[in-house]
A and B are shown apart, each in its own frame.
Chain A
Amino acid sequence: MDTMTQSAPLPFPSAWRDRHLLDLERLQAAELFAILSTAEQLKALTDGCRRKISLLSGKTCANLFFENSTRTRNSFSLAAKRLGADTVEFSSAGSSVAKGETFVDTAKTIEAMGVDWVVTRHQTPGTPHLLARELGCSVLNAGDGPHEHPTQGLLDILTILQHRGPRDWQSASLDPSQLLAGMTVAMVGDIAHSRTARSNIWGLKSLGADVIICGPPTLVSPRWEEIGFEVAHRLDDIVERCDVLNLLRIQFERQQTRPFPSVREYAALYAMNGDRMRRAKSDILIMAPGPINRGVEITPEVADGPHSVILEQVTNGIAVRMAALWLLSGASDIAASESNPPR
Chain B
Amino acid sequence: MSRPTPTLLQPIVIDGGRIVDPANGVDRIGRLLIIEGRIAELDPCDGDCPGDAYWIDAQQRVVAPGLVDLGAELRQPGREEDETIQTGSNAALAGGFTSVLCCSNTNPVIDSAAAVELVTQIAQRLGGVRVYPIGCLSKGREAAQMAELAILAEAGAIGFSDSPRAMPNDALLKRALDYCRMLDLPIFDRPEVPGLAEGGIMHDGQVSLVLGLKGLPTEAEDLAVARDVRLAEATKGRLHVGPVSTMGAIDMIGRVKSRGVPISASVCPQNLHGSDALLRSFDSRFKVHPPMRSPAHVESLQQAVADGTIDAIQSGHMPRAREKKGNDLDLAPFGAATLETTLAATLTDMIRTDILSWSRAIECLSTNPARIAKLDAGTLGKGAPADVTLIDPDAAWTVRPSEFLSRCQSSPMEDRELFGRVTHTIVGGRLLFVRVEESTAVV
Residues of A with Cβ closer than 8 Å to B? 25, 102-104, 122-127, 129-130, 144-148, 195, 198, 221, 223-224, 226-227, 256
Residues of B within 8 A of A144 (CB): 212
Contact of A104 among B199, B209, B281, B326 (CB under 8 A): B326
For chain B, the bracket of interface size reads: 10 to 19
Residues of B with Cβ closer than 8 Å to A? 198-199, 205-206, 209-213, 281-282, 323, 326-331
Contacts A102-B327, A103-B328, A104-B326 given; does A126 touch B211 at CB 8 Å: yes
Q: Most chain-A Cβ atoms within 10 A of its Cβ — which of B282, B323, B326?
A: B282
- Are B199 and A198 closer than 8 Å at their CB atoms? no
Main secondary structure of the interface of B (DSSP, over half): loop
- Are B206 and A227 closer than 8 Å at their CB atoms? yes
Which residue on A lies nearest to B198, using beta carbons? A256
Known: A125-B212, A126-B282. 18 other contacts (CB 8 A): A102-B326, A103-B327, A104-B327, A104-B328, A124-B329, A124-B331, A125-B211, A125-B282, A126-B329, A129-B282, A130-B328, A146-B212, A221-B209, A223-B205, A224-B209, A227-B206, A227-B209, A256-B199
- Are A130 and B282 closer than 8 Å at their CB atoms? yes
Which residue on A lies nearest to B206, using beta carbons? A223
Residues of A within 8 A of B281 (CB): 129
Residues of B within 8 A of A129 (CB): 281-282
- 6 closest residue pairs by CB, A with B: A126-B282, A146-B212, A147-B212, A124-B330, A124-B328, A129-B282
Residues of A within 8 A of B326 (CB): 102, 104
Bound complex: CA A102 to CA B328 (Å): 9
Residues of A within 8 A of B331 (CB): 124
Bound complex: CA A286 to CA B327 (Å): 39
A-B CB contact pairs (8 Å), 10 listed: A25-B210, A103-B328, A122-B328, A125-B329, A145-B330, A147-B211, A147-B212, A226-B206, A227-B209, A227-B210
Which residue on B lies nearest to A126, using beta carbons? B282
- Are A126 and B198 closer than 8 Å at their CB atoms? no
Contacts A147-B211, A147-B213 given; does A126 touch B328 at CB 8 Å: yes
Residues of B within 8 A of A122 (CB): 328
Which residue on B lies nearest to A221, using beta carbons? B209
Bound complex: CA A122 to CA B205 (Å): 23
Query: Chain B nearest CB: distance from A122 CB in Å?
Result: 7
Residues of A within 8 A of B282 (CB): 125-127, 129-130
Q: Most chain-A Cβ atoms within 10 A of its Cβ — which of B210, B211, B212, B281?
A: B212
Which residue on B lies nearest to A194, using beta carbons? B212
Bound complex: CA A76 to CA B211 (Å): 24
Bound complex: CA A227 to CA B327 (Å): 30
Residues of B within 8 A of A148 (CB): 212
Residues of B within 8 A of A146 (CB): 212
Bound complex: CA A146 to CA B213 (Å): 7
Bound complex: CA A123 to CA B329 (Å): 10
Which residue on B lies nearest to A66, using beta carbons? B328
Bound complex: CA A129 to CA B284 (Å): 12
Query: Chain A nearest CB: distance from B276 CB in Å?
Result: 12
Query: Chain B nearest CB: distance from A124 CB in Å?
Result: 4
Bound complex: CA A195 to CA B331 (Å): 20
Which residue on A lies nearest to B331, using beta carbons? A124
Bound complex: CA A74 to CA B164 (Å): 45
Query: Chain B nearest CB: distance from A262 CB in Å?
Result: 23
Residues of A within 8 A of B199 (CB): 256
Residues of B within 8 A of A198 (CB): 210, 212
Bound complex: CA A227 to CA B211 (Å): 13
Query: Chain B nearest CB: distance from A90 CB in Å?
Result: 16
Bound complex: CA A179 to CA B282 (Å): 31
Contacts A126-B329, A127-B328 given; does A195 touch B212 at CB 8 Å: yes
